[in-house]
Amino acid sequence: MDFLILLLGGAVLGLAGVFVRLADTTANLGPFASAFWRMAVAAPFLLAWAAATWTRRPQAEKPAPPAANPPQWYSQRPAPPALLAHWPTWGLALFAAAMFALDLVFFHLAVTWTAVGNATLESNFAPVLITLAFWVLTRNAPRPVFLAGLAAALGGAALMIGPNFGHSRALLGDASGLVSAVFYAAYQVGIQQARQRLPTAPLMAVVTLLAAVVLWPFALAEGRLWPNAAIGWLWVLGLALLVQIGGQVVIAYAVRRLNPALSSVGLLVQPAMAVVYAWILLGEALTAPQLLGAGLVLAGIYLARKGM
């Protein structure tokens, strides 16, 4: 049952790119604005959930001080240095929020400039980037399976991006998708450290609220803050309630109960379903080489997760 819940959460998250594109094309809502409203509309619901959860927690279950030895990122391997372990809790929350906000800035740009499937697959390179970063920092070479996954993911990305050569806007979108993965990887590191000190509900609420604050000036500068058609609010509600709350909360619930190998497979549903949604709802059919590339990217991400 937990695995099915995980699959459901991944399938819901796969709608993010479609909602962003529809908000742009049907209501002239800019990519930065849709990112801001995604956070701003979700924040009050998450704050209410966090308040209700916190008041019901027994005193004995209040979060303990951060552990001296945080959870390992690599199974049966020495834990890498906890880069942010000495940061104050508010600093970790702000860092995670800023990284998530920048991830959304570049992901939403990617969705508007290139294919939704490309943008979503590229943004899911975060596990590969995290492992590469810890390889550099710890000087501990990852497992051979990770290197195989890296090669597959890069080869698949090349096949997917190939048709966009000669189209500068689409290439900028692909580049933005890859940049979003860098910020999402940083967000994952920050949130992992923050979760040693705060329960999930208040942490998600605070990070979402702070991310909205960070995104506010981007949305204002863009000049397309308000949708020019009522249907735009439908896409905003989809991003806030389905994607940000429904998808994220459901996945957080399911992942904690599943072993990492099974979770790695289940979380690949998000980019896979994004390709399907874009094909059905937006008419973005991939060519045969791009489909092969998408399969290689998914296989590469899976192997990279397995090699962490």
pLDDT tens over the chain, length 308 residues: 666 777 787 888 889 999 999 999 999 999 999 999 999 999 999 999 888 877 776 554 444 454 444 444 334 444 444 566 678 888 888 999 999 999 999 999 999 998 888 888 888 877 777 777 767 766 676 677 777 877 887 787 787 777 767 677 888 998 999 999 889 888 877 887 787 777 778 888 999 999 999 999 999 999 999 999 999 999 999 999 999 988 876 776 665 565 555 555 566 778 888 888 888 899 887 778 878 888 888 887 777 766 65
Residue 72 lies in a domain: no
Contact 34, 108 (CB under 8 A): yes
Contact 211, 75 (CB under 8 A): no
Residue 67 lies in a domain: no
**C-alpha to C-alpha distance for 21 and 112, rounded to whole angstroms:** 6
Residue 59 lies in a domain: no
Amino acid identity of 297? Answer: V
pLDDT at 242: 92
Contact 115, 171 (CB under 8 A): no
Range of the structural domain that residue 260 is part of: 2-54+78-306
Contact 127, 301 (CB under 8 A): yes
**C-alpha to C-alpha distance for 304 and 308, rounded to whole angstroms:** 6
pLDDT at 73: 38
pLDDT at 71: 44
Q: For the chain, what is the largest distance between any 2 Cα atoms, rounded to a whole number of angstroms?
A: 61
| Tokens (6 digits) for 143 | 């497992």
pLDDT at 237: 96
Domain count, the chain: 1
Contact 89, 203 (CB under 8 A): no
Residue 65 lies in a domain: no
pLDDT at 238: 95
H-helix segments, 62-143: 89-113, 116-123, 126-138
Residue 207 lies in a domain: yes
pLDDT at 259: 55
Residue 66 lies in a domain: no
pLDDT at 266: 60
Residue 70 lies in a domain: no
Helix axes 126-138, 288-306, angle to 10 degrees: 40
Residue 107 lies in a domain: yes
Q: Name every residue whose Cβ is closer than 8 Å to that of residue 53 and which is 6 or more positions away in sequence.
A: 199, 201, 202
| Tokens (6 digits) for 26 | 């049907």
For 18, half-sphere exposure in the C-beta direction (CA atoms, 13 angstrom radius) is 23
The predicted model scores a pTM of 0.81
Buried b (16+ CB within 10 A) or exposed e, 46-85: bbebbeeeeeeeeeeeeeeebeeebeebbeeeeebebebe
pLDDT at 121: 84
DSSP 8-state code for residue 78: P
Amino acid identity of 251? Answer: I
Task: Please state whether 114 falls in left (phi above 0), alpha (psi between -120 and 50) or beta.
Answer: beta
